[in-house]
Chain A
Amino acid sequence: MKVSGILSIKPGDVITAHPQQTIQEAIGILAARNIGALLIVDDVGKLVGILSERDIVRKAVMHKGVFDLPVAEVMTTHVVTALPQDDLMSVAHTMTEKRFRHMPILDSDGELIGMISIGDVLKAQRDKYRGEIDTLETQLMADED
């Protein structure tokens, strides 16, 4: 299965924020959308970072006024991205090994087209194995008939 298999059932707009917005605003979006990370884009929509719950927690430990900081000071700027045609299993491996819970997806022109979460990946893996088991069970049943 490819990354596009997840994007095809997740058509919603990618949820983004700008680096100059405050953390207060950013967590407002996270809470309202019930998500764990925001993609941070500049004025022309180019991906410049990712802001996860974890980034905020990490910053809050050292900085009591974290809510008033601009997103730019808290976000992760080194963002690993994937292509829609990437193998989902390889991407899953990378996310697990590097402990990323979210991965933005860019098209071949570098345009941001979506994001997948570790939850999406786990669900896809679960369904893949369930499907294989079900196929084998069906064939065993047919053999018995």
Chain B
Amino acid sequence: MSEVGTAENPLRVAIIGAGPAGFYAAEHLFKQKMAVQVDMYDRLPTPFGLVRNGVAPDHQKIKSVTAVFDRTAKKPGFRFFGNVELGRDVSVDDLRDHYHQIVYTTGAQTDRALNVPGADLEGHHPATEFVAWYNGHPDFRDLQFDLSQEKVAVIGIGNVAMDVARILCRTPAELAQTDIADYALEALSKSNVKEVYVLGRRGPAQAAFTTPEIKELGEMEDTDTFTISDEVELDSLSEASLAESADRGAMRKVEIIQSYAQNQSTGKSRKLFVRFLVSPVELYGDEHGHVKAMKLVHNELYKTDAGSLRPRATERTEVIEVGLVFRSIGYRGVPLSGVPFNDSWGVILNDNGRVIHPDTKEPVTGEYTAGWVKRGPSGVIGTNKPDSVATVDLMMADLQNGRYLHPTHPEAEAIASLIAERQPQFFSYADWQKLDELETAKGAELGRPRLKFTCVEDMLAAVGKA
């Protein structure tokens, strides 16, 4: 057999997970000066991961990154196998039999738990589930959220918390301009929500959300947004650290947050309060086991040796009435069957992207990772590009040094027929493009960017695979 990477023996790579990290890895693989074939897998029939199922529907511009992914998908040598799940339809051993290299880009699919008394009460949900639900993720479409409640708390103050708060506060007319799932649009149109509290542990200078996100909260059609003067005035530590950092973006963010403390009610139907320096310490339930209130402790900041400002509980507490609680306090990857996992950080056990054997700490030949399941959830979509590029560069170095898998069936047809046998209802990229056209056409009829299929059976039927 000739050298790997030639026309007769192209480098064959399997990418597991069709989100941004997977597409950026594929893009960089196709830039290499060698013959490359990439098969990209996803457990859903649809590609794009969190761009489709995570990015808020009222952020269509962010979703436009899919145009870049489309270009990668058009490269000769690219194939998509949607509706194919690792561990269910194919195993890591199957992949080792068919590819020279494997890249896991499955993201951070689950969330951190809230460890306070009452966390198991009904009406307390991970924000990820709500996000997946309103975005029409097939696994989450049947969830129920009690939107008859008037008061809602969102624990956490990153961009996901902002998204959840905004979607709860948008009017049906605002939401109808988006590609929000149709059932979510219907449920949210009947929502009884009047007050939403976003709860941050630290102060305005440490808030994880970005300036456009906080600005947007002040521009909603039928929601007044407020902050509380006492909570948004900077303590001396934050003031010093902000001055030292000379970060104009962070300063602007603080200014906007502080300006909301001056807001007066303009009679809009909903109120959104962005709270700082508070942590939930207990959820209280009613006689039916449903959350009815939350105890908050007020925090103060202290500086660690390393210079980071951390929250510390004070004696002061307060109780707020809430009937629905979402937590958005961090995300973790989910272990993949047959792939070493680092439980401390919720990522695949890896050294800069090379999967590591848990006992020997040596790289596992031919296996790599990129994106959130490599480094944990951080940054914006584009942050995954340098991350994936770094992983692919290591793959190329290993290839040069002869460290790659020697598959028994490296020909592209072999794995295609195995998949056709194990999962005859797999989705090709052409199938996805057909679905995409149907979704955008249906959306256009309603003046919306797209009308999503949210159920796998419907997706299969739409492309004639049912």
Q: Give chain A's interface residues, CB within 8 Å of chain B.
A: 1-5, 7-13, 80-87, 89-91, 93-94, 103, 113, 126-128, 130-139, 141-143, 145
Tell me which residues across on chain B come within 8 A of A130, comparing CB atoms. 382-383, 385-386
Expressed in whole angstroms, the minimum distance between the Cβ of B229 and any Cβ of chain A is 25
Q: Which of A8, A103, A131 contacts B384 (CB 8 A)?
A: A131
Determine the chain A residues whose CB is within 8 A of the CB of B308 once the complex forms: 82-83, 85-87, 90-91
Q: How many residues of B contact A (CB 8 A)?
A: 42
Q: Tell me whether A138 and B382 are in contact in the complex, defined as CB-CB below 8 angstroms, given that A11-B349, A13-B361, A86-B304 are known contacts.
A: yes
Some 25 contacts from A to B, beta carbons below 8 A apart, are A4-B376, A8-B342, A8-B345, A8-B376, A9-B351, A10-B352, A11-B351, A13-B361, A82-B305, A83-B304, A83-B308, A84-B345, A86-B304, A87-B309, A89-B245, A93-B244, A131-B380, A135-B380, A135-B381, A136-B382, A138-B68, A141-B68, A142-B61, A145-B64, A145-B67
- For the complex, give the distance between the alpha carbons of A76 and B59 in Å: 51
Q: Mark B343-375, 1 if CB is under 8 A from A, else 0.
A: 011010111110010000100000000000011
A11 and B356 form a contact (CB under 8 A): yes
- Nearest residue, chain A, Cβ from B306: A82
Given A132-B380, A139-B61, 14 extra CB contacts under 8 A = A4-B376, A5-B378, A11-B356, A80-B305, A82-B304, A86-B304, A89-B245, A90-B309, A103-B306, A127-B390, A130-B382, A130-B386, A138-B382, A142-B61
Cβ–Cβ contact A83 & B352, under 8 A: no
Is A141 touching B349 in the complex (CB atoms < 8 A)? no
Q: Which residues of chain B (321-348) have a CB below 8 Å from chain A?
A: 342, 344-345, 347
B113 interfacial contact with A, CB 8 Å: no
Chain B residue at minimum C-beta to C-beta distance from A80: B305
Give chain A residues whose Cβ lies under 8 Å from the Cβ of B68: 138, 141
Residues of B within 8 A of A135 (CB): 65, 380-383
Chain B residues 214 to 249 lying within 8 A of chain A, measured CB to CB, are 241, 244-245
Residues of A within 8 A of B245 (CB): 89, 93
Q: Does B62 contact A (CB under 8 A)?
A: yes
A131–B309 contact, CB under 8 A? no
Instruction: Tell me which residues across on chain B come within 8 A of A2, comparing CB atoms.
Output: 376, 378
Q: Are B306 and A91 in contact (CB under 8 A)?
A: yes
Which of chain A's residues have a CB closer than 8 A to the CB of B381? 131, 135, 138
Contact across chains for B361 and A11 when beta carbons are under 8 A apart: yes
> B73: shortest Cβ distance to chain A, in Å?
16
Complex interface: chain B residues within 8 A of A93 (CB): 241, 244-245, 307
**Interface residues of B: mostly helix, strand, loop or mixed?**
mixed
- Nearest residue in A to B340 (C-beta to C-beta)? A11
Tell me, yes or no, whether B279 is within 8 Å of chain A by CB: no
Give every chain A residue within 8 A of B382 (Cβ-Cβ).
Answer: 130-138
By a CB distance below 8 angstroms, the chain B residues around A103 are 306
B387 on interface, CB distance cutoff 8 Å: yes
Inter-chain contacts of A11 with B (CB < 8 A): 342, 349-351, 356, 361
Give the CA-CA distance A4 to B381 in the complex, in Å.
Answer: 19
Q: Check A131/B349 contact, CB under 8 A, given A13-B361, A82-B304, A83-B308.
A: no
With a 10 A CB-CB cut-off, give which of A8, A126, A130, A137 has the most chain B CB atoms: A8
Q: Specify which of A9, A12, A83, A87 is in contact with B206 (CB 8 Å cutoff).
A: A87
Smallest CB gap from B385: residue in A = A134
Residues of chain B with a CB closer than 8 A to A141's CB: 67-68
Q: For chain B residues 303-320, which have a beta carbon within 8 Å of chain A? A: 304-310
- In the complex, which residues of chain B have a beta carbon less than 8 angstroms from the beta carbon of A90? 241, 306-309
The CA of A7 and the CA of B347, in the complex, are separated in Å by 11
B64 proximity list for chain A (CB < 8 A): 138-139, 142, 145
Report the 10 A-B pairs with minimum CB-CB distance, sorted nearest first: A131-B383, A135-B382, A142-B64, A94-B307, A82-B306, A134-B382, A86-B308, A8-B345, A90-B308, A131-B382
CB distance from B259 to the nearest CB of A (A): 24
